[in-house]
Amino acid sequence: MLAGLLCLYFGLRWQDSRFFWVTGVSLSGVLGYVLVRLLAELAALRRLGHGIHAAREGLLDPTPVGPFGWTSVGRMIPEYNTTIAVLRQMFRTVEECQGRFLTERNRSNTILQSLPGALLSVADDLRVAIANRQADAFFGVDSGALIGVNLFDLLNLNERDRELLRDAFLYKRAIRNREIALQLGDAKRYVSLNLSFYSAEEDDMGGVLILQDITDYRQLMESVATREKLVAMGQLAAGVAHELNTPLGSILGYAQLLDRAAANDPRLAGYARIIADETQRCSRVVQELLNYARKDQCSGETCDLNQLARELIETFINCRLKRYRIEVVMELSEAALVAEGSCGQFDIVLSNLLANAIDTLDGIASPRIVVRTWAEDSYACISVADNGPGVPPDIRNRLFDPFFSTKDVGQGSGLGLSISQAIVAKRGGFIAYDASYRDGACFVIKLPAVDLERANP
């Protein structure tokens, strides 16, 4: 009876206790068996504990049963190994999913970073959640500086474009290739805007914006449109110039005869001179129109821009600049600056710019004109700047349109800048208004430079 109670106390099977009771094993034998069983259970438990500790450290290896399979703990070890095998398979599946996730994330991130436009992902509160490198460069900030910024605080839009974007978020309207004007610091940029939303739910405001800078493209299209106007103007001039020159010549001749005949009548003579002057002005306009229709042939001539600027400024100083007390500052490059083309044609271009600068300085307290030359890449550059009122932003895109002029009627034909642009464009250069100049107006001319070392080996 005592042997059975000891077996029950130490967790032995009823068969073991019954065996001891039937066979009448002594108390010392029972205690010896219990001690062996207890040691075996402890050894199996220790082995299972090592396996659990290793699993906690991430080593999901099976625990060997060894000689303890007959113990209660030993019979639990196969179940533990089965659980470990299932966990190992689950972790392997998780690792594979994690690897695929990282691969897809890296692929998506590469695609986002390689987009040519600035990408902004906004959350429900319209704050930037994701921004690619192009967005950082576009707004001129360090990496990560855009995260958390409110979209409407970031985009400096005019009222029309701001209302467009506001309605798009309010009514969940996607935007496709919409041109907007964006103010970035002191510069105004034109941007193509695309907006898409993550879901169609009204409460979900999250979406993606892509901003593509199209300022250069827009200027190119304007240049193409201007050249088309020049071509049309040239065709028009070729058709009507000769027809106009004949009656204008007749009017001028009769006006001169009338001037001579009215020597005793000053009033009538004054009218005759006005008719003659206006007729000559019309003739000059016709002659300028003819310049559009003419095709220049390559003459191989070159022009030293520094020398041209000196000679032309000297002529103007002796005439209009001295009369109007205009200060002239010349910042000419030390090295020779030779451009491809005739000095006679470039004289016309530079004279037009100087004449316009002189006209805009009317009423300025300390009028000043700055003429500067420099070399830039493969171009010979010359600029004419003044400290006048400058050109209003809303008419800058019309400066080179034929017959467009800000002067009063009768003060200019509106062809000076158009003809200047045509002359420069035929030589492979261009003329542009420098919008970054803040002290007045500045026009920059860039002409293909002559490589003196190659031209004179």
Asked whether this chain's domains 115-213 and 302-455 adopt the same fold, the reply is: no
Residue range 111-128: average pLDDT? 85
CATH architecture of 115-213: 2-Layer Sandwich (3.30)
pLDDT band at 79 (very low <50, low <70, confident <90, very high): confident
- Give the phi and the psi of residue 7 in degrees, each rounded to 5: -65, -45
| pLDDT, mean over the chain | 80
Q: Which two tokens stand for residue 354?
A: 């100087």
What does the alpha-carbon distance between residue 413 and residue 401 come to, in Å, rounded to a whole number?
Answer: 11
Specify the pTM. 0.46
| Nearest alpha carbon to residue 441 among 372, 357, 358 | 357
Name the nearest CA neighbour of 429 among 441, 442, 444.
444
Residue range 361-407, pLDDT digits in tens = 888 888 999 999 999 888 999 999 999 988 888 888 778 777 677 66
What would the pLDDT profile of 323-352 be if each residue is shown by its tens digit?
A: 778 888 999 998 888 888 778 778 878 888
Token pair 């897809």 is found at: 104
Look at residue 236 in the predicted model and tell me its pLDDT.
Answer: 66
121's tokens: 């992902």
Residue found under tokens 């200027």: 219
Q: Please give the Cα distance from 351 to 345 (Å, whole number).
A: 10
Q: Report the distance separating Cα 196 and Cα 81, nearest Å.
A: 52
* Per-residue pLDDT reduced to its tens digit, 226-263: 667 666 666 666 666 667 777 877 888 888 888 788 77
Confidence class for position 114, pLDDT limits 50, 70, 90: confident
Domain regions of the chain by residue span: 2-91, 115-213, 219-293, 302-455
Answer with the residue of higher pLDDT: 94 or 6. 94
User: How far is C-alpha 1 from the geometric centre of its chain's CA atoms?
Assistant: 95
Identify whether the C-beta of residue 3 lies closer than 8 Å to the C-beta of residue 21. Answer: yes
Over residues 180-223, the pLDDT tens digits come to: 888 887 778 889 999 999 887 777 788 999 999 888 888 778 77
27-56 helix and 72-114 helix, angle to the nearest 10 degrees: 0
Report d(CA 212, CA 209) in Å as an integer: 10
Domain 302-455 class, CATH top level: alpha beta
Is residue 172 a contact partner of residue 184, using CB atoms and an 8 Å limit?
no
